[in-house]
Amino acid sequence: MKMTNTWNRFIYRLWAPVYDSTVDTLFAPGRKRAFEVLDPHPGELVLLAGVGTGADLPLLPAGVDAIGIDLSPDMLAKARAKLPACRANVRLLQGDAQALLVAEDSCDAAILNLILSVIPDGRACLQSALRALKSGGRIVIFDKFQPDGEEPSIIRRWLNIFSTLLGTDLTRRFGDMLQESSARVICTEPSILGGVYRIILLQKG
């Protein structure tokens, strides 16, 4: 199934009431480690593309300004409920993270946790986040990817038929998204599920 914004709005309306208490419990260690790798500092402006239910918001340190973007109004409603417990100054926007929704060259860092495998065009999302960054800005990514240079197995392609119905793609390769970009990989490390999920730190050139 080809993923679309229309389908994602529908499926994440269904996910919104149960997301935090079900699948996101699996992701908590990866989210925490992603923040350790990014190390956001007070005074920085941080972009959260695909902020979802706001599971990353409590991890933001005091003194950080953040802009969280998500396509789903239902997921954003859950994120807004977390704002009183958030130490950072956060503004939430409903919109499509495949497009540049903040000023170009305005952000110090970006967090792309569990968005590049969900959004219809992961490369467009990554490129928009890079355009939002100042020179030398950094992006942390926590997500699952098909290994670069490998084609998905028959089993993975079969499973992907069902996973895309649930709102995520199992067959995307990060290297394809990074092609012709201005970013370089600073570090990459395996994360949850035996390294199926990875944490990647990029820096804008």
Q: Could you tell me the residue ranges of all domains in the chain?
A: 5-204
% of the chain residues with pLDDT over 70: 100
Residue 1 pLDDT greater than 80, yes or no:
no
Question: What is the per-residue pLDDT for 2?
Answer: 85
pTM: 0.95
pLDDT digits (tens, 9 = 90+) for 170-184: 999 999 999 988 899
- C-alpha torsion 91→9→109→179, nearest 10: -160
Question: What is the per-residue pLDDT for 44?
Answer: 98
Q: Which fold has domain 5-204?
A: Rossmann fold (3.40.50)
User: Across residues 37-55, what is the average pLDDT?
Assistant: 97
User: Across residues 33-59, what is the average pLDDT?
Assistant: 97
pLDDT digits (tens, 9 = 90+) for 113-144: 999 999 999 999 999 999 999 999 999 999 99
pLDDT digits (tens, 9 = 90+) for 82-97: 999 999 999 999 999 9
The DSSP-derived string for the chain is ----HHHHHHHHHHHTTTTTTTTHHHHHHHHHHHHHHH---TT-EEEEET-TT-TTGGGSPTT-EEEEEES-HHHHHHHHHHGGG-SSEEEEEES-TTS--S-TT-EEEEEEES-TTTSS-HHHHHHHHHHHEEEEEEEEEEEE-PPTT-PPPHHHHHHHHHHHHTT--S---HHHHHTT-SEEEEEEEE-TGGGTEEEEEEEE-
Please state, in angstroms and rounded to a whole number, the distance separating the CA atoms of residues 119 and 50: 8
Question: What is the per-residue pLDDT for 79?
Answer: 98
pLDDT digits (tens, 9 = 90+) for 99-111: 999 999 999 999 9
pLDDT, the chain, mean: 96
Residue 77 pLDDT greater than 80, yes or no:
yes
Question: What is the per-residue pLDDT for 182?
Answer: 81
